[in-house]
Amino acid sequence: MDMQGILEEIVEDIGLLGRHGEVASYIPSLGEVSPDKFGICVAMADGSVFGAGDWLTPFSIQSISKIFSLALVMSYDYDSIWKRVFREPSGTPFNSMIQLEADLGIPRNPFINAGALVVTDRLLTLTGDAAASVRGLLRSESGNPEVDVDDVVAASEADHGHRNASMAHLLASYGNLENPVEDVLSNYFKQCALEMTCEDLAKASLFLARHGVSSGGTPFLSPNQSKRVNAVMLTCGTYDAAGEFAYRVGVPCKGGVGGGIVAIVPGRCSVTVWGPALGPNGNSMAGIAALDQFTAKTEWSIF
Ligand code: GLU
């Protein structure tokens, strides 16, 4: 298969489609990114890497960080996080609070904001510095020691993070936080503000395509845990558009409001796409179109 040729065709087609969607502006510093960027990178299970478009431009990974915080907590704690977070699709926006009260402080899944706050809280208890441990994992798995937090984005989100702060207080009121609200929020904003390229992210998430095996060849997650993270990505990784992603793309995906999406083809590869303009559900419009083409051209949908 001519993987480089496929990626170049996708970049060309995305350019022809024109721009759709809007850059996230509720975190003001994300609103400054050009909506016309588009990049794609594929990291194959054998270690080879292919990229096209703006695949080497760093962007804010935002909610994609939630895959790595969950994987870290599972690597330390095995299954105990599931006593504090469900693993069902929410059908509501990523920052919705309605369900959290109805479910008495147990978030629907670890990939909506409420669930991610609980995961970050647990990681903070386990490591003493949740954001630094996510950064450490991303540096070692991507092989890029320069991966770091964009402090301007983290501060911008903290200044405008009233919904996340409300959610953290609501979780605390139900006894579902182990650490002070301020500490959980600051770690969460920093992990979301990590900056990476498509290449970094495709390499860093490759363990999920390799049944949990890390870049160094040692097990980071067990095959069973890797299967479970992929399953939660498929059902909950793209907010209330998980059905649309399964229909159009057909592999586990996790998106972020920075416009990145990580997609895993178990046993084969990890793909990262980046296009900052988002659709109504908070997912990259160019990203879903590109992944739709990718699984069609490669015939690598799991369905
Ligand atoms: N930091 C963002 C927030 O909490 C992440 C949202 C996302 O990427 O979906 O609102």
Which CATH number do you get for residue 135? 3.40.710.10
Task: Look up residue 239 and give its two tokens.
Answer: 């907010």
In the annotation, is 257 catalytic? yes
* CA atoms of 42 and 233, how far apart (whole Å): 18
In the annotation, is 48 catalytic? no
- Residues contacting 51, CB < 8 A, separation 6+: 7, 39, 40, 41, 42, 198, 199
> Would 251 be classed as within a structural domain?
yes
Sign of the four-CA dihedral 182, 194, 26, 114: negative
Low-confidence ranges of the chain (pLDDT < 50): none
The number of domains in the chain is 1
In the annotation, is 66 catalytic? yes
> Would 146 be classed as within a structural domain?
yes
Cβ 207 vs Cβ 220: under 8 Å: yes
Give distance in angstroms: CA of 63 to centre of ligand 1. 5
Ligand 1 pocket mutation, candidates 119, 257, 284, criterion most atoms within 8 A of CB: 257
> Would 303 be classed as within a structural domain?
no
pLDDT at residue 92, rounded to an integer: 83
Output phi, psi for 233, to 5 deg.
-65, -45
Give distance in angstroms: CA of 286 to centre of ligand 1. 19
> Would 103 be classed as within a structural domain?
yes
pLDDT at residue 16, rounded to an integer: 84
> Would 120 be classed as within a structural domain?
yes
Q: Which of 134, 147, 184, 188 is catalytic?
A: 188
pLDDT at residue 186, rounded to an integer: 98
Side chain identity, residue 127: T
pLDDT at residue 46, rounded to an integer: 94
pLDDT at residue 28, rounded to an integer: 87
Range of the domain at 208: 3-298
- 3-state SS of 273-286 is EECCEECCCCCEHH
Q: Please write the tens of the pLDDT for every residue from 22-48.
A: 999 888 888 899 999 999 999 999 999
In the annotation, is 63 catalytic? yes
Ligand 1 environment, Cβ below 6 A: 62-63, 94-95, 113, 157, 164, 192, 256-257, 282
pLDDT at residue 288, rounded to an integer: 97
Which atom belonging to ligand 1 lies closest to the Cα atom of 282? Answer: 9
Give distance in angstroms: CA of 218 to centre of ligand 1. 31
Give nearest CA residue, ligand 1 atom 6: 63
Give distance in angstroms: CA of 116 to centre of ligand 1. 10
pTM of the predicted model over 0.95? yes
